[in-house]
Chain A
């Protein structure tokens, strides 16, 4: 499968900042309320207070997947020194089902960006088997690549990202 430079994940900088280049092999559908998330969609924090409905594809119910939701632009895209804030971590999701069937290691925290437009990335990894994943001690300074290397998750199988900025404008100019 050819992943040329038009791939939204490459253009949006997700591949590079958060992930390595990978080939998409599993279907991933994320829905907030009525809206389905497509790459680069603009969503306000008021619409993402509750966790989304995630449905994954695949065929074999014996395969398990891990879903990670991170924000690589904390605290602000111009200065992301807390890079990758972990919002949600669900493991042991059987194929063809959703996150309700998985093991929620890190509970969903609704993103509330203060400054700028943040990208929120949902990544799906394939697990080798049912494995215990320990929750990281803290949410900021999370590194998706290291996490995948630590639990032998290898390359992701699916990813989607969307944009989120604060509800009421940029907060005005403060001199």
Chain B
């Protein structure tokens, strides 16, 4: 669960692996925002609302003489939940969410996951967004479980999912040695720095 620590590892910091905000902030330039490996932070990240002193724009609420005077302390009506760009709402809980949709229609989603598992099985470690990495764990584990079984039917099922057949044959050849004793959990996800272009949270996913 560790992300990449951005500050230099000075002797004082390195002696205890617990990061303190003050030492981190003092060593960073003030304009840099970084993702800290705090143990309590969990997805989804809640973006704290900016100072409520700004007057709310009229597109979201009816024109009200109270707002236009810019009275401090008046919160906009969206204050019950956090707003992310594009209208998507982020809650702290996962109630009722069964399948990660990955912002794609179902056929594309399946193709994306097939492609990602193919690449992971081919390269052993790939770097992708966190949502995709955690969505593909299930399918990678499924493929390795098929390979553990090893029968012809399972091999054909794997060939129907993975795009390259050499990878299927290589997988069926080496999985009994490599994962024979391990029960499940064949992947590991390591969170890392966000992508520069769109600040998407990234992660490495690798075969354990």
Contacts and interface: CB of A to CB of B under 8 A. Distances in A.
Interface of A: 1-8, 11-13, 24, 27-29, 36, 38-42, 57, 73, 76-80, 115-117, 163, 165, 170, 173, 175
Interface of B: 1-6, 8-11, 14-17, 37, 39, 119, 121-127, 163-164, 166, 170, 174, 188, 190, 192-193, 204, 206-208
Nearest to A160: B9
B29 to A, nearest CB: 14
Nearest to B207: A78
A77 to B, nearest CB: 3
Contact of A116 (B2, B124, B166): B124
A38 B1 contact: no
B50 to A, nearest CB: 30
Contact of B123 (A7, A57, A78): A78
Contacts of A173: 163-164
A3 B17 CA distance: 7
Contacts of A175: 164, 166
B2 A27 contact: no
Contacts of A11: 1-2, 188, 190
Contacts of B39: 6
Contacts of B1: 5-6, 11
B2 A6 contact: yes
B123 A76 contact: yes
B10 A38 contact: no
8 contacts: A6-B17, A6-B37, A13-B188, A77-B125, A78-B123, A116-B126, A117-B123, A165-B127
